[in-house]
Amino acid sequence: MTTMVARRDERTQAPVPPTKGGAKDRWVRRAPLLPALIFALVVTQVPFLYTLYLSTLSWNALRPGDKPFVGLDNYITVFNDSRLRSALFNTVLLTAGAVLFSIILGLLLALLLDRKFIGRSVVRTMLITPFLIMPVAAALLWKHAIFNPAYGLINGIFGGQTDWISSYPKAAVIATLVWQWTPFMMLILLAGLQSQSNEVIEAARVDGANAWQIFRRMTLPHLRQYLELGALLGSIYLVNTFDAIFTITQGGPGTATTNLPYEIYLTTFRKFEYGEASAAGVVVVILTIIVATFALRVISSLFRMEDNR
């Protein structure tokens, strides 16, 4: 990222800066905002505070009796729990794998769609379709209709008896996610490609630059922010992947595909370790905040760009 600007407080991006009105004017301005703000505060922050509180209790819902305060004990358990560590590792691997492959494929498809050809809008509609299939339905479709060893499409077309999901659980989950998320990346990158000025590229071509040089030296740098945005938004959504794990592998075989959301789900609703699950939830929130900070920077730098245009 060339511009490491977290926030643009100095330069207001709205067409008109807020005026210094009296108290009454300020409240008139605030009034339309308040319902949404209060709603968001109550529905998102209160549960989180409650999670913080629960994370300090030793509370297993199967064990009757009191729920003693244990301070940071649950956090120590969380950090020492090898299941959670492996879940963290799986989360990173699954997220990174899915984001990386979907960005590469999305970039290739966006480059194709950036050209003029017959039926371009039809192809675009076909390409976004996987993103619109309900995630659970998509996961089931891949699990049964594509990966199934007996009647799945892969073995049906190419032969063989491979049980894809038990042999390559992580790859199977990633393939499903990549199929669903490539359209998302493609749309963002296509928007980036189409915001590139044609005249500059034409000028470079007249000056004798070949297609690869134009791509390397002009298109890629221009796309950089869009690639970052796609990667970060994709990560934010994919880090929470639950549907695909729950449906395709149930976290298995063993714990091969158990990611953090699935592990916390198991801790909460299978082991009923409420305190521990809460502590793990808090840790996930903190990790997300770290990733999100980067995302916000990218988004605000895009605002900057839009402003300077």
Partner 1 sequence: MRARLHNTIWGTVAWIAGIIFVFPVIWMVLTSFKQEQAAASNPPSWTFTPTLDQYAQIFDRNITPYLLNSLMASIFSTLLVILLATPAAYALSLRPVAKWTDTLFFFISTKMMPAVAALLPVYLLAKHLGMLDNIWTMVILYTSMNLPLAVWMMRSFLLEVPREVLEAGEVDGAGLITSIRKIIMPIVSPGLAATALICFIFAWNEFFLAVNLTATAAGTAPIFLVGFISSEGLFLARLCAAATLVSLPVLIAGWLAQNKLVRGLSMGAVK
Residues 6+ apart with CB under 8 A from 184: 102, 106, 131, 230, 233, 234
What x-and-dash track marks residues 231-270 binding partner 1 by CB under 8 A? --x--x--xx-xx--xx--x---------xx--xx--xx-
Hey, what are 37's tokens? Answer: 């703000």
Residue 227, interface with partner 1 (CB under 8 A)? no
Binder to partner 1 among 1, 3, 18, 203 (CB under 8 A)? 18
Contacts of partner 1 in 94-113 (CB under 8 A): 108-109, 112-113
Q: How many residues bind partner 1 (CB under 8 A)?
A: 114
- Which is nearer to partner 1, 101 or 274 (by Cβ)? 274
Hey, what are 145's tokens? Answer: 């209709």
Contacts of partner 1 in 116-135 (CB under 8 A): 116-120, 122-135
Hey, what are 68's tokens? Answer: 């003693």
Binder to partner 1 among 1, 72, 104, 145 (CB under 8 A)? 145
- Which is nearer to partner 1, 82 or 121 (by Cβ)? 121
**Which range binds partner 1 by CB under 8 A, 63-71, 75-83, 196-204, 271-279?**
271-279
Residues 6+ apart with CB under 8 A from 42: none
Residue 46, interface with partner 1 (CB under 8 A)? yes
Binder to partner 1 among 40, 76, 200, 203 (CB under 8 A)? 40
Burial 272-306 (b: 16+ CB within 10 A, else e): ebbbbbbbbbbbbeeebeeeeebbebbebbeebee
In whole angstroms, what is the distance from residue 261 CA to residue 111 CA?
34
Binder to partner 1 among 4, 14, 23, 206 (CB under 8 A)? 14
Asked if residue 261 has a cis previous peptide bond (ω within 30° of 0), the answer is no
Residues 6+ apart with CB under 8 A from 152: 144, 145, 146, 164
266 neighbors 276 (Cβ within 8 angstroms): no
185 neighbors 234 (Cβ within 8 angstroms): yes
Query: Closest separation between CB of residue 71 and partner 1, Å?
Result: 19
- Which is nearer to partner 1, 96 or 233 (by Cβ)? 233
Residue 86, interface with partner 1 (CB under 8 A)? no
Query: Closest separation between CB of residue 161 and partner 1, Å?
Result: 10
Query: Closest separation between CB of residue 52 and partner 1, Å?
Result: 9
In whole angstroms, what is the distance from residue 13 CA to residue 7 CA?
11
Binder to partner 1 among 2, 4, 15, 22 (CB under 8 A)? 15
Query: Closest separation between CB of residue 92 and partner 1, Å?
Result: 14
242 neighbors 262 (Cβ within 8 angstroms): yes
Contacts of partner 1 in 157-186 (CB under 8 A): 157, 179, 182-184
Residue 58 CB coordination number (10 Å): 18
Query: Closest separation between CB of residue 303 and partner 1, Å?
Result: 7
Contacts of partner 1 in 289-308 (CB under 8 A): 289, 291-292, 295-296, 299, 302-303, 306
**Any bridge partners for residue 273, and if so which?**
60
